[in-house]
């Protein structure tokens, strides 16, 4: 059962490891994964701790349902105070590491201190050890995993590692597992690097027991049929998340040339179908029937031979539309480069696109860039700048601390051109025609990001009676409307908080498919797996608790309502092109503020975005931090 999975507290300074059980009350209040991670983060990181100080704590948590054969239930959540934003650092990763950690007996690793020398953490069947990693330091994220497997002669060891970017403390370095899976956002790889921690490995053969194993197995099959029965999942299993590109680029919802245009003309080569030229088949994460990533090969050209996995929709923006590169091959090469270096795709692409616009506008020049010609679509400059960021060389070093630091260094009106919120780059989506999406990136607790709340459902123009039933209140079916969209965001935030906590994949709940498993299905899965009973209302309250703890963390670090904002350009510059529905759109400041008020009220927070005493009491958070674990 999940009850015998433990927390290991690892102090890298002293190499001391203490194992403790996860109290049942924690499960009832926060489930697992991101939920318990956030509780631990709030309790273990003292206010205003520098993110690169050894006292910052890195937490690796497995979802409550981690290991079951459905809905991609192998996800793992990595948290720490973010060195990029100073807010909640949190990154959710698929692949196979989460379940392996669980089979090795642990649901949580809480890593504090700093190792004197490069180290990695070895976890196997109930034992945790800190080992020397001198021989791994300097290796890229894939070489590192290969080396660890070769050292132990075991191909089935699963690793969470950093690449060279993490070693070099690039503030948006990510944590990597497998060929492609990445705990991408908020710089968790940088925190690992700051602790001299090259990786964590897991190998486990311990039983994971369930309350009703036979019924659970049948229900898992039902869940898989349910998700793969949706058209969205079918399309995704064929082309991956890239499938979104066809729709958004045609409509005019993709930022191009940083933020100058909202669709890429002549972008045909980036259409998802073109992956077929390179794909040798798709691959799935643990327990997933959707298998949304491609295994691809470059056979010819200057970058061949190359084998890699991906690319995501995100990569099409990061190394395609945003930097005005129009070739699939450029995306494929850059995608693999950032994966090897261990850099967040989105942040890297977002920063380079911004630099290109600054170069275009003459705010920076050849002198600033050290001779790099940052012209739109310059593929070689793109690859070189990625390398420089990872190695902290030349102009790359100016970008390697993220937007805030780069804005301070470059000055002039560079801040105006930065498409970021709370210091983190936005996805390559253009939210000006879609107020719901815009509110979501503004309120996200980890900085501009789509994975905290993206209400893709808004794009479908579903009947309002249906939306009312789904969201529990009136929501406009027009995606350019502001009406009811705060409710939509609030609801999705709670759903995704719970999804990240049970450890299933967001693509297998109400993300793009309305008829995907959600509250009631989650409730039944939890009951069959653990015996714990939660109603839909109770699960929503858990989501609320998790989101409120994240909010409390950010408030403690000095974030306020002012930070729940959008880049100025969203309010000033209307979208220049696109279909009539998306063209000429910008965000109305007054309506945006009104949405924000409604959104706070739905969460039970006051006008400043601070949880009210009543809300805290209702959620049982009025006594936090309690350090009860």
What is the contact surface with another protein in residues (CB under 8 A)?
Answer: 67-70, 96, 103, 142, 145-146, 155-156, 178-179, 204-210, 213-214, 216-217, 220-221, 224, 228, 280-289, 291, 295, 297, 307, 309
Contact 294, 309 (CB under 8 A): yes
Residues 508 and 549: their CA atoms lie apart, in Å, by 25
Minimum separation from the CB atom of position 140 to another protein (A): 11
Nearer to another protein, 116 or 221 (CB): 221
Nearer to another protein, 295 or 561 (CB): 295
- Work out whether strand 119-124 and strand 197-203 pair parallel, antiparallel, or are unpaired: parallel
Nearer to another protein, 223 or 424 (CB): 223
Burial label, 513 (beta-carbon count in 10 A; 0-12, 13-18, 19+): buried
Nearer to another protein, 214 or 465 (CB): 214
Closest-CA residue to 93 (of 24, 23, 174, 147): 174
Residues 628 and 548: their CA atoms lie apart, in Å, by 18
Minimum separation from the CB atom of position 69 to another protein (A): 4
Contact 328, 275 (CB under 8 A): yes
Residues 621 and 629: their CA atoms lie apart, in Å, by 15
Nearer to another protein, 112 or 337 (CB): 337
Minimum separation from the CB atom of position 561 to another protein (A): 43
Closest-CA residue to 340 (of 371, 309, 379): 309
Residues 497 and 297: their CA atoms lie apart, in Å, by 36
CA distances, 38 to each of 45, 78, 272, 616 (Å): 10, 10, 36, 16
CA distances, 140 to each of 119, 315, 486, 510 (Å): 15, 19, 42, 36
Give the sign of the dihedral formed by CA 403, CA 409, CA 410, CA 414. Answer: positive
Minimum separation from the CB atom of position 311 to another protein (A): 14
Residues 197 and 286: their CA atoms lie apart, in Å, by 25
Nearer to another protein, 229 or 576 (CB): 229
Minimum separation from the CB atom of position 505 to another protein (A): 11
Minimum separation from the CB atom of position 210 to another protein (A): 7
Minimum separation from the CB atom of position 513 to another protein (A): 16
Minimum separation from the CB atom of position 412 to another protein (A): 45
Minimum separation from the CB atom of position 156 to another protein (A): 8
Nearer to another protein, 175 or 424 (CB): 175
Nearer to another protein, 288 or 542 (CB): 288
Tally of CB atoms within 10 A around 416: 13
Minimum separation from the CB atom of position 236 to another protein (A): 13
Residues 67 and 287: their CA atoms lie apart, in Å, by 7
**Full strand arrangement of the beta sheet holding 16-21:** 16-21, 6-11, 106-112, 58-62, 76-81, 88-93
Minimum separation from the CB atom of position 103 to another protein (A): 7
Q: 200 phi and psi, to 5 degrees?
A: -130, 130
Residues 584 and 455: their CA atoms lie apart, in Å, by 22
Nearer to another protein, 213 or 371 (CB): 213
| Ramachandran region, residue 336 (left: φ > 0; alpha: ψ -120 to 50; beta: rest) | alpha
Nearer to another protein, 507 or 547 (CB): 507
Peptide bond before residue 318 is cis, with ω within 30 degrees of 0: no
DSSP 286-337: TT-SS--EEEEEE-SSTT-SEEEEE--HHHHIIIIITTT---HHHHHHHHHH
Nearer to another protein, 96 or 172 (CB): 96
Closest-CA residue to 323 (of 296, 294, 347, 357): 357
- Work out whether strand 6-11 and strand 293-298 pair parallel, antiparallel, or are unpaired: unpaired
What SS3 class is residue 359? helix
Minimum separation from the CB atom of position 534 to another protein (A): 21
Q: Which residues pair with 309 in a beta bridge?
A: 295
Minimum separation from the CB atom of position 579 to another protein (A): 35
Tokens of 610: 């601070």
Nearer to another protein, 295 or 556 (CB): 295
CA distances, 238 to each of 45, 96, 197, 228, 332 (Å): 42, 21, 37, 11, 17
Nearer to another protein, 90 or 140 (CB): 140
Nearer to another protein, 302 or 305 (CB): 305
Tokens of 620: 């049982």
For residue 53, the 8-state DSSP code is: S
Nearer to another protein, 17 or 206 (CB): 206
Minimum separation from the CB atom of position 231 to another protein (A): 15
Minimum separation from the CB atom of position 307 to another protein (A): 6
């Amino acid at each position: 059962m999940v009850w015998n999975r433990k927390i290991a507290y690892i102090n890298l300074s002293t190499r001391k490891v203490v194992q403790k059980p996860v109290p049942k009350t924690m499960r009832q209040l926060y489930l697992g994964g991101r939920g318990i991670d956030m509780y631990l983060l709030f309790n273990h990181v003292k206010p205003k701790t520098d993110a690169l100080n050894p006292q910052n704590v890195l937490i690796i948590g497995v979802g409550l349902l981690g290991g079951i054969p459905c809905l991609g239930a192998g996800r793992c959540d990595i948290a720490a105070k973010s060195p990029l934003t100073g807010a909640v650092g949190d990154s959710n990763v698929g692949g196979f590491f989460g379940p392996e950690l669980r089979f090795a007996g642990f649901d949580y690793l809480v890593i504090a201190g700093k190792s004197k020398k490069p180290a990695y953490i070895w976890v196997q069947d109930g034992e945790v050890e800190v080992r020397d990693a001198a021989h791994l330091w300097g290796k890229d994220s894939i070489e590192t995993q290969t080396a660890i497997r070769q050292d132990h002669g075991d191909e089935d060891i699963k690793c969470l590692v950093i690449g060279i970017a993490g070693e070099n403390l690039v503030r948006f370095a990510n944590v990597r597992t497998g060929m492609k899976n990445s705990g991408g956002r908020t710089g968790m790889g940088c925190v690992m690097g700051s602790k001299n921690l090259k990786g964590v490995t897991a190998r486990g053969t311990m039983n994971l027991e369930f309350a009703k194993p036979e019924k659970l197995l049948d229900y898992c099959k039902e869940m898989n049929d349910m998700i793969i029965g949706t058209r969205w999942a079918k399309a995704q299993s064929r082309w991956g998340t890239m499938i979104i590109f066809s729709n958004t680029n045609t409509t005019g919802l993709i930022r191009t040339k940083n933020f100058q245009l909202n669709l890429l003309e002549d972008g045909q080569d980036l259409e998802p179908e073109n992956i077929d030229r390179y794909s040798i088949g798709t691959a799935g994460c643990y327990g997933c029937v959707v298998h949304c990533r491609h295994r691809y090969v470059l056979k010819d050209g200057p970058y061949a031979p190359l084998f890699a996995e991906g690319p995501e929709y995100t990569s099409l923006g990061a190394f395609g539309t945003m930097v005005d590169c129009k070739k699939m091959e450029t995306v494929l090469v850059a995608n693999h480069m950032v994966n090897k270096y261990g850099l967040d795709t989105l942040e890297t692409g977002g920063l380079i696109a911004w630099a290109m616009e600054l170069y275009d506008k003459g705010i920076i020049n050849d002198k600033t860039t050290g001779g790099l010609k940052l012209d739109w679509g310059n593929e070689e400059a793109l690859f070189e700048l990625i390398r420089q960021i990872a190695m902290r060389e030349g102009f790359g070093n100016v970008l390697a601390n993220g937007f805030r630091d780069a804005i301070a260094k470059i000055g002039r009106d560079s801040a105006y051109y930065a498409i970021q919120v709370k210091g983190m780059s936005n996805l390559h989506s253009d939210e000006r025609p879609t107020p719901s999406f815009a509110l979501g990136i503004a309120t996200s607790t980890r900085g501009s990001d789509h994975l905290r709340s993206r209400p893709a459902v808004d794009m479908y123009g579903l009947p309002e009676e249906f939306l009312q039933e789904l969201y529990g209140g009136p929501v406009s079916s027009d995606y350019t409307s502001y009406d009811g969209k705060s409710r939509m965001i609030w609801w999705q935030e709670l759903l995704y908080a719970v999804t990240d906590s049970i450890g299933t994949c967001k693509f297998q709940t109400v993300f793009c498919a309305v008829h995907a498993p959600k509250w009631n299905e989650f409730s039944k899965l939890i009951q069959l797996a653990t015996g714990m009973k939660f109603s839909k209302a109770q699960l929503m309250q858990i989501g609320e608790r998790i989101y409120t703890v994240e909010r409390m963390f950010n408030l403690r670090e000095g974030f306020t309502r002012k930070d729940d904002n959008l880049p100025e350009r969203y309010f000033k510059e209307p979208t220049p092109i696109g279909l009539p529905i998306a063209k000429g759109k910008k965000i109305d400041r007054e309506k945006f503020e009104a949405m924000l008020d409604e959104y706070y009220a739905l969460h039970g927070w006051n006008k400043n975005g601070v949880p009210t005493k009543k809300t805290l009491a209702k959620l049982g958070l009025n006594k936090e931090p309690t350090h009860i674990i």
